[in-house]
Structures are given as structure tokens and as C-alpha cells.
Amino acid sequence: VDSPYILEGLEPQTRYNFRFAAKNDAGFGPWAAPEHHTMPSRSYPEEPKFLNAAQDGIVHSAYYNHFELQWKIPADNGELIDKYDIKFCPVRRLNDVWTEIPGMSCKTVEQRSHEPTSLLLAGLQPDTHYKIELRAHNNIGYSTPGQIVVKTAR
């Protein structure tokens, strides 16, 4: 019960019928009632999820001038992810909203999907908050951006 099992290579917009039975040293148990599932259509990737732990909504970097961003590969929704776009900007909180700091520029980095799901963001300013947006891309389009705020050390 509730044991996950991943089936790969299923076709979008195709209906599948599943039946399950348990097996142990004594043999197979009775078959469960059939379950029917229709796979969703192909789409842009799911939103990437960050592996960096946040405290009060902010990830604290141990370093004053760099940060290693790490994320989990999102579901590709039927089309292979070919790249990730990472945008990071110095921000400050105004009325509980993180806004870009005028005069300080944002940077965007493109990372191909065959590279590791991490990126060293270097050249950061000490004691500064950065809003990071990460989007996955496939041949249908971009995911919704995953977002975190990172604060560099003093």
C-alpha cells in the first residue's frame, strides 16, 4: 500500500489500465481492482525545486562573494529539458516585496541540461540579498520560474 513505483516511457494523452498484486515467499496475492489513468498532454516542464534550505524564506550563504545553487530536475512533461536559465539580481525588501535595487544589474546564465543541476554564482557582493529565478526549458517552452532569496555573508 502506498509504495511508489515509477513507470517510464509512457505516451502522452494515452489511457493505461493497471492491475496490481502483491508477491511474497508464499506466492502472489489476489489482484486488486483495475485502475485507469490517462497521461497528460506534452507541455513545458514543471517548476524546478531548489535543494538549498531556507530559514524564514531566505537561504543564508556561508560565503560573502559566492553561492552554490542546487536544484532537483523537474518533470519534463513529455519533452526533454534542454537547458536551464538562471537569473540573479540584488534585491531589497520594500513593503514585504523583494524589489531589484536600482543601479545594480541582474545577471542571467544559461546552463545546458547535460550539465550538473548546480551552479556556482560568483562575484556576489557581501551582506547582500539576491533573488534567484530558475526556469527549465524544453521544445514547448519555459517552466514557471522557481524563486529563492539568498543572503551573502558579511
Q: What is the DSSP string of 30-69?
A: PPPPPEEEEPPPP-SPPPPEE-S--BTTEEEPSSSSEEEE
Q: Which CATH number fits domain 49-151: 3.40.190.10, 2.60.40.10, 3.40.50.300, 1.10.150.130?
A: 2.60.40.10
Q: What is the pLDDT of residue 44?
A: 94
- Residue 27 amino acid letter: G
Q: Which residue has the higher pLDDT, 142 or 37?
A: 142
Residue 16 corresponds to which amino acid?
A: Y
pLDDT digits (tens, 9 = 90+) for 102-129: 988 999 999 999 888 999 999 999 999 9
**pLDDT on residue 42:** 86
| Domain edges within the chain | 49-151
SS (H, E, C) the chain: CCCCCCCCCCCCCCEEEECCCCEECCEECCCCCCEEEECCCCCCCCCCEECCCCECCEEECCCCCEEEEEEECCCCCCCCCCEEEEEEEEEEEECCEEEECCCCCCEEEEEECCCCCEEEEECCCCCCEEEEEEEEEECCEECCCEEEEEECCC
| Confidence at residue 1, expressed as pLDDT on a 0 to 100 scale | 55
pLDDT, one tens digit per residue, over 29-83 is 999 999 998 887 889 999 999 999 888 889 999 999 999 999 999 999 889 999 9
Residue 66 bridge partners (DSSP) = 122
